[in-house]
Amino acid sequence: MGINKNELLNKIQDKRSKIAIIGMGYVGLPLALEFARQGYSVKGIDINKKRIEKLNRGENYVEPHDTLLKEVIEKGNFVGVDDFSVLAEADFISICVPTPLNKYREPDISFIENATLEVKKYLRKGQLIVLESTTYPGTTEEVVLPMLESTGLKAGEDFYLAFSPERVDPGNPLYKTHNTPRVVGGITPDCTDIAIEFYSHVTEKVYRATSPRTAEMEKLYENIFRAVNIALVNELALLCKRMNIDIWEVVELAKTKPYGFMPFYPGPGLGGHCIPIDPFYLTWKAREFDFSTKFIELAGEINTRMPYEVVNLLVEALSFHRKSLAGSKILILGIAYKKDVGDVRSSPSLKIIEILRAKGIEVKYNDPFVGEIDMGWGMESSVPVEKVGEFDCVVITTDHSCYDYKMIAEKSLLIVDTRNALKGIKSENIFKI
C-alpha cells in the first residue's frame, strides 16, 4: 500500500515528525537549528567528527555569536551525529552537501551521490527526501530518483522526493532561514504538497515550482544573474581606470535612478560557494543540448581575471612610488570572501596570495574572523592589523566593518583598495580598483 498523505501532514503539523539534515555546513546547520527552534526533533549528520564534537558542545562555527544552538541542545531538540543509521527513523531528510567543480570546471556531484546512497540504505515508506544542494537541472530526477527507486519503492506513492534550493547568505543580519522565501518543486504534486508543508513551519513564504528541474534552474538563475552583473561592473571598472573615471562614483550616481537599475560593485574577484561555481553547472549541462552559454562563460572569464588585475594594480602602485614588487612585503587585509564572516571558500584573496607567492613575494594577511588558515603549503596566522605600517603595501580585499580605516590609512605606506573601503579618505598613497 502507498503512504497516507493526510497522516503524514498531521504528523508534520503536530510536530511529531523527526528531521535529519545531511551536511552541517553553511546550509544544513541553519536549517537544522530552525526546525529545532520550532520544536521538531532534529539530527544533524556530518562525516566530519570534529564538526559534530563542536556542535554537541554548543559551538556554532557558522554563526559564532548565535546562541540558538545551545538553546535547542538544552531543550533536547538537536543533536549532531556522524552515524547515518538515524535516517531510518527520520520522516524528513534534507541533503545539504557541497557541490564543487572538478579541475576541469565540471560538476562534482559525488557528495550528492554518496548522501543518496546512505538515504537509500534506510529508505522506508512515508519519508520525504529533499535535495537542497545547488546543482544542474535534472539532478533530482536523473540521479537521486533512480537511486532511491532502485529499492523497489516508488516516489509519490511510497516516499516523497523534492528539490528546494538553499538560499543562505552568511553574515546577513536581516535575512535568515525563517524570513527568506523558499521555492519547492516535487517529483509529483503530492511530493510538492508535503515538502511545502514541512518548510512552511520554518519559513514565512514557500513558493511552488512545477518540477524539481524548474526549481534547480531557478537557483542557478539567481547566481548567474549576480555573476553576469558583477562581471559587467568589473569590466567597466577596468575601463574607467584607463579613462580616469571613478567607477564607485559612477555606481552611486546610477543608484539615484528609482527604477530599472540594481547596483553591483567591482571587487578583487568572486568568492563563496555559489557565484564562482554554480553558473558552470549550467554551462556543463547546456552542452548536452548543443547549446553554448556565452554570457556565463564570458562573465566567468572576466571575474576569474580580477585577482590578476589586482596584482597588476599593486605593481602599478609600487612603481608610482619608485618601488619594485620584488623584495616588497605585502599585507592582504581581509582573507574572507565577504565582509564580517570567516568564510574563505573560493576567496579571491587566496588567489592573490597564490599569484604573489609564485613570484617569490613575501605575503601575510590579517583577518579578525580568520585567525589561522591552511594555505596549502602550511598553516598561516593572521598578523595584527596594527602592523600595517611594517609592509610596503596593504591590499584591502575584504571590507570588514570592524576595521579602523582611518588608522589603516594613516599608518600604511601604500594601499590598494579593491572595495572602496577608504571612501572619503584622500591620499596619494591610496590606489583604487
Length, in residues, of the chain? 433
Nearest Cα residue to 22 out of 119, 89, 110: 119
Active site residue 240: no
Q: For 135, phi and psi rounded to 5 degrees?
A: -160, 180
Cα(296)–Cα(305) distance, rounded to whole angstroms? Answer: 14
Largest CA distance in the chain: 81
Question: Across the strands, what pairs with 45?
Answer: 22, 81
CA torsion, ordered 374, 375, 380, 382, to nearest 10 deg: -100
H or E segment and range at residue 161: strand 160-163
The enclosing H or E element of 12 equals helix 5-13
Bridge partners, residue 331, by sequence = 364, 394
- Whole-angstrom Cα distance, residue 324 to residue 330? 12
Helix, strand counts (H, E) of the chain: 14, 15
DSSP for 236-268, written as a single string: HHHHHHHTT--HHHHHHHHTT-SSS-------S
Question: Given 96, 191, 240, 274, which residue is catalytic?
Answer: 274
CA–CA separation, 326 and 309 (whole Å): 17
The angle that helices 5-13 and 189-199 make with each other, rounded to 10 degrees, is 10
Catalytically annotated residues:
274
